[in-house]
A and B are shown apart, each in its own frame.
Chain A
């Protein structure tokens, strides 16, 4: 196998780190560690966008990287920290269903995503085409995380991590999204987090807990 140029290797490395962080989030019980991992994921994403921008000489990717850094490494984690302090759940530990089973399902999802992305990777023309499979895998893994969690805050973090994966997929397949689309998505994300925050405060007032299973009381029967 001929050796790839340094930039491609760096991007592959960042892709692997992204996947590693997605798996690590699956196994975390503490909300504080989840937020830190999310911030780390945002950082890796910003770096990767920076390298792609440098390699393909597209200056708007620099702006994109900057915006990602500001939003996902600084703003959103700060907001989440504030939220969990307000809700008083910062020291909560979740009792999760079997971690090994979750990780096995995660591996099956990774194999599935890799096989799904293989034909697309072949026809894409970007230098990052082999990372499409990893991006899809991290989207699926974050989705899995949302499904298996009981506390609302972890579900939100799963949702945000899914967006990270989506962003990475966009970078790998098409060198980033048009700036308008990107700014729109990021703004939506910010607004969604604010709304989540308000909702959680209300849920907590009503049910005295953020365990989403209590929402089942809202069933018809």
Chain B
């Protein structure tokens, strides 16, 4: 496991995940279309959208500040870093020690704060509406996510994702009841943070029902392309974190080329299943009233905290 091959693995993972993230989103949308008895736009549609947007001229409002046009780049950078840290294909990558689960949650929080500020930048009512609602979702989703990750950390006695994957994936199979709680909480947080039904409808065009879309109403062209790409990267990052925590089997060690092929295959299968599962969840649920969302997330937060307590009773 030499340094050079570890670096190659790192680059491979980062580039690969960034490139296939829109495909994941396209697959989820396509599954949703099939479940709703439509034929759907095809799994490559997000790529076409991003390409179309890059060609356009960017239009900024008269009173947009530098924060406004810098945010899409910052967002993209944050998400790129996130997928570099999560052990998607392999563990023990060079970037992995840079952040543990707490820093990962902090990274997502940084992205959320910047996009909310960008929403407030122009000063229209929709932007501030979106920012307000996004922070309302975020202030409960972030602690819930943190508590879920803490449950996994308490089991593996470490907050480093590498050690967590090693403990949960490469040791003997043990059923952890606290992970049952953590899994429920994690799915709820994933739905909330990625603006999926039942919290937010990603396909809506009614401004008063928007949360995420309202913040990015003013963006166009390459800025919007980067934000859409970053959103799909965020969804992929969350799914891969879930995979690393709950179904970590198959992730290779850095430098192990044969293990890499197995890992790639396992990743494709897991992402496909997760995407289909997400589409299924979205189809059977209805979007909630906006003030039911804090209840939903409060439940997730309390489930996650309960998972930690159950760990102390049953597993310690």
Contact across chains for A114 and B175 when beta carbons are under 8 A apart: no
Tell me the number of A-to-B contacts counted with CB atoms below 8 Å. Answer: 67
Please, what's the 1-or-0 string for B273-316, where 1 marks a CB less than 8 Å from any CB in chain A?
A: 00000000000000000000011001100110110011011111
Q: Does A104 contact B (CB under 8 A)?
A: yes
- The smallest beta-carbon distance between A28 and chain B, in angstroms, is 10
The CA-CA distance from A44 to B316 in the complex, in Å, is 23
| Chain B residues closer than 8 Å to A134, beta-carbon distance | 310, 313-314
B residues near A100, Cβ cutoff 8 Å = 294-295, 298, 302
Partner pick for A1 among B180, B305, B306, B316, CB 8 A cutoff: B316
Q: State whether the Cβ of B126 lies closer than 8 Å to any Cβ in chain A.
A: no
Given known A1-B315, A130-B314, A133-B313, contact A99–B180 (CB-CB < 8 A): no
Cβ–Cβ contact B298 & A20, under 8 A: no
Contacts of B303 in A (CB 8 A): 20, 23
Closest to B311 in A: A16
Q: How far is the CB of A101 from chain B (nearest CB, A)?
A: 10
Tell yes or no: A107 within 8 A of B by CB: yes
Count the A residues whose beta carbon is within 8 Å of the partner chain — how many? 28
Q: A12-B175, A20-B180, A99-B295 are in contact. Are A130 and B302 (CB under 8 A)?
A: no
In the complex, what's the smallest C-beta–C-beta distance from A117 to chain B, in angstroms? 9
Complex Cα distance A106/B305, Å?
12
B50 within 8 A of A: no
Q: How far is the CB of A19 from chain B (nearest CB, A)?
A: 7
B-chain residues with CB within 8 Å of residue A27 when the two chains form the complex: 295, 299
Give the distance in Å from the alpha carbon of A101 to the alpha carbon of B303 in the complex. 14
Residues in chain B near residue A186, CB distance under 8 A:
none
Tell me, yes or no, whether B57 is within 8 Å of chain A by CB.
no
Do A13 and B177 touch (CB < 8 A)? yes
Residue of chain A at shortest CB distance from B315: A1
**A23 and B175 within 8 A (CB):** no
B residues near A20, Cβ cutoff 8 Å: 180-181, 184, 303, 306
In the complex formed, the residue of B with least CB distance to A114 is B313
The reply to whether B177 and A107 form a contact with Cβ atoms under 8 Å apart is: no
Closest residue of chain A to B307, judged by CB?
A16
Q: Bin chain B's interface residue count.
A: 20 to 34
A10 close to B (CB within 8 Å): yes
Contact pick for A110, options B299, B309, B315, CB 8 Å: B309
Q: State the CA gap A152–B172 with chains docked (Å).
A: 48
Q: In the bound complex, how far is the Cα of B294 from the Cα of A17, in angstroms?
A: 24
Chain A residues positioned under 8 Å from B310 (CB to CB): 16, 19, 134
Question: Is B203 on the interface with A (CB-CB < 8 A)?
Answer: no
In the complex, B30 has a CB within 8 A of chain A = no
Mask of B178-218 contacts with A, CB within 8 angstroms, 1/0: 10110010000000000000000000000000000000000
Query: Which residues from B are CB-within-8-Å of A110?
Result: 306, 309
Contact bitstring A12-33, B, C-beta under 8 A = 1, else 0: 1101110110010001000000
Kindly state whether residue A174 has any CB partner on chain B within 8 Å.
Answer: no
Asked whether B180 lies within 8 Å of A23 as measured between CB atoms, the reply is no
In angstroms, how far is the closest chain A Cβ from the Cβ of B42? 37
Report B303 CB to chain A, min CB distance, Å. 7
Whether B174 sits at the interface, judged by CB under 8 Å, is: yes
- Distance between Cα atoms of A27 and B139 in the complex (Å): 20
Residues of B within 8 A of A1 (CB): 315-316
Please name all residues of chain B whose beta carbon is closer than 8 Å to the beta carbon of A104 when the two chains form the complex: 302
A130 and B299 contact, Cβ closer than 8 Å, known pairs A20-B180, A20-B181, A23-B306:
no
Q: CB distance B306 to A13 under 8 Å?
A: no
In the complex, are the beta carbons of A107 and B175 less than 8 A apart?
no
**Which residue from B302, B312, B314 sits with its C-beta under 8 Å from A12?**
B314
- Please indicate the chain A residues that have their CB under 8 angstroms from the CB of B302 in the complex: 23, 100, 103-104, 106-107
Interface presence of A131 (CB below 8 A): yes
CB distance A107 to B309 under 8 Å? yes
Q: Tell me, rounded to whole Å, the shortest Cβ–Cβ distance linking A14 to chain B.
A: 8
Question: Smallest Cβ distance from A16 to chain B, in angstroms?
Answer: 3
For B309, list chain A residues within 8 Å (CB).
Answer: 107, 110-111, 114
Check A206 for interface membership: any CB of B closer than 8 A. no
A1-B315, A131-B314 as given contacts; A13 in contact with B175, CB under 8 Å:
yes
Whole-angstrom CA separation of A74 from B114 in the bound complex = 53
Interface positions, chain A 117-140, Cβ under 8 Å from B, are 130-131, 133-134
Q: How far is the CB of B185 from chain A (nearest CB, A)?
A: 10
**Is A88 part of the binding interface, using a Cβ–Cβ cutoff of 8 Å?**
no
In the assembled complex, the Cα of A110 lies from the Cα of B306 at a distance in Å of: 9
Is A9 close to B, CB under 8 A? yes
A127 to chain B, nearest CB (A): 13
Q: Do B175 and A99 touch across chains, with their CB atoms under 8 A apart?
A: no
Other CB < 8 Å A-B pairs besides A13-B177, A15-B177, 11 of them? Answer: A1-B316, A9-B174, A16-B178, A23-B306, A27-B299, A103-B299, A104-B302, A107-B309, A111-B309, A114-B312, A130-B313
